[in-house]
């Protein structure tokens, strides 16, 4: 399974093609679906361009994507940098009027288990973001069902990121949920290649990298998806 991560925390100053508005996210989701992704992960923005968990902001982005590409699963982030207070993140999730299909929760963040529980209560599939071996142990103490494990290799150095991937994957129990493996920055393509070789789900998009496998600037998300599909062919 290949997922497109369309924008993350990127600004237009980093890449002119970063989708910010709900309409832009929807248009990019259509292009990425045509290129072969099975789902999209987005960071909805408010009118100022800041990431937000507000009900209206989540609803606008999710609704726009679903209208433009019916049937394409849509996921959002619940990262602590968006709403730092854990209790406020729980309140935000419980106030959503339009629900995404899935949402990521970084296990190492304060209040992660409560945020995951709130998502599960609303019927939103939880993706557990695991950045370290220690986070594996923390996740195993959750009582919340998880639909997917995100093994997220945050080190930029490819050698370090690949070693982190090996360590985290080895620490996961044999009965762990399906795993999606990805990296960021210079490690994005090496880790994506490792995911392909291991037969794991992965993701690609401007959130993770601005360049194609040959190091040239990526025109946009659809080009990154096409390159990833070729690597996995």
Q: Is 132 helix (H, G, I), strand (E, B) or coil?
A: coil
Range of the structural domain that residue 155 is part of: 2-231
Look up the CATH number of the domain holding residue 133: 3.20.20.70
Is 175 a residue whose pLDDT tops 60?
yes
* SS3 annotation, 77-122: ECCCCCCCCHHHHHHHHHHCCCCCCEEEEECCCCCHHHHHHHHHHH
* SS3 category, 126: strand
**Mean pLDDT, all residues of the chain:** 97
- Rounded Cα distance between 120 and 180, Å, is 19
Q: pLDDT tens, 177-225?
A: 999 999 999 999 999 999 999 999 999 999 999 999 999 999 999 999 9
How far, CA to CA in Å, does 33 sit from each of 58, 107, 187, 205? 20, 29, 24, 12
> Cα dihedral angle (60, 152, 33, 145), rounded to 10 degrees?
-70
**Residue 37 backbone dihedrals phi, psi, to 5 degrees:** -80, 155
DSSP 7: -
Q: What is the model's pLDDT at position 233?
A: 57
DSSP-based helix, strand, coil % in the chain, nearest 5: 40, 20, 40
| pLDDT tens for each residue of 21-40 | 999 999 999 999 999 999 99
What share of the chain in percent tops pLDDT 90? 99
pLDDT of residue 40: 98
- Check if the beta carbon of residue 76 is closer than 8 Å to that of residue 100: yes
pLDDT over 90 at 128, yes or no: yes
Percentage of the chain modeled with pLDDT above 70: 99
- Above 90 in pLDDT, residue 134? yes
pLDDT digits (tens, 9 = 90+) for 69-95: 999 999 999 999 999 999 999 999 999
Spatial distance between the Cα atoms of 189 and 158, rounded to a whole number of angstroms: 9
- Report helix, strand or coil for 209: coil
Q: What is the pLDDT of residues 95-109, one digit of tens each?
A: 999 999 999 999 999
pLDDT at 231: 86
Residues 6+ apart with CB under 8 A from 26: 61, 64, 65, 67, 68, 69
Distance between CA atoms of residues 185 and 211, nearest Å: 9
Q: What is the CA radius of gyration of the chain?
A: 16
Reading the block at residue 8, the tokens are 């993350």
Selection from 152, 127, 157 nearest residue 208 by Cα? 152
For residues 111 and 89, the answer to whether their CB atoms sit within 8 Å is yes
Number of domains in the chain: 1
Type and span of the H or E element at 152: strand 148-153
């Amino acid at each position: 399974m290949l997922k497109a991560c369309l924008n993350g925390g990127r600004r237009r100053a980093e890449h002119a093609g970063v989708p910010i508005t709900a309409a832009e996210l929807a248009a990019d989701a259509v292009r990425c679906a045509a290129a072969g992704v099975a789902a999209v992960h987005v960071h909805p923005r408010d009118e100022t361009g800041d990431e937000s968990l507000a009900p209206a902001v989540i609803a606008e982005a999710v609704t726009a994507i679903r209208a433009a590409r019916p049937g394409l699963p849509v996921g959002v982030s619940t990262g602590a940098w968006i709403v730092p207070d854990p209790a406020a993140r729980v309140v935000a999730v419980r106030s959503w009027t339009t629900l995404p299909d899935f949402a990521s929760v970084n296990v190492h963040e304060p209040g992660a288990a409560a945020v995951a529980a709130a998502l599960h209560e609303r019927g939103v599939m939880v993706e557990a973001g695991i950045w370290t071996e220690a986070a594996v142990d923390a996740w195993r103490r959750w009582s919340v069902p998880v639909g997917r494990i995100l093994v997220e290799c945050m080190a930029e150095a490819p050698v370090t990121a690949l070693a982190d991937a090996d360590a985290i994957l080895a620490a996961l129990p044999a009965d762990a949920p399906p795993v999606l493996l990805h990296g960021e920055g210079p490690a994005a393509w090496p880790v994506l290649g490792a995911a392909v070789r291991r037969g794991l789900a992965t993701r690609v998009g401007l959130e993770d990298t601005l360049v194609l496998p040959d190091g040239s600037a990526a025109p946009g998300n659809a080009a990154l998806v096409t390159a990833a599909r070729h690597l996995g062919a």
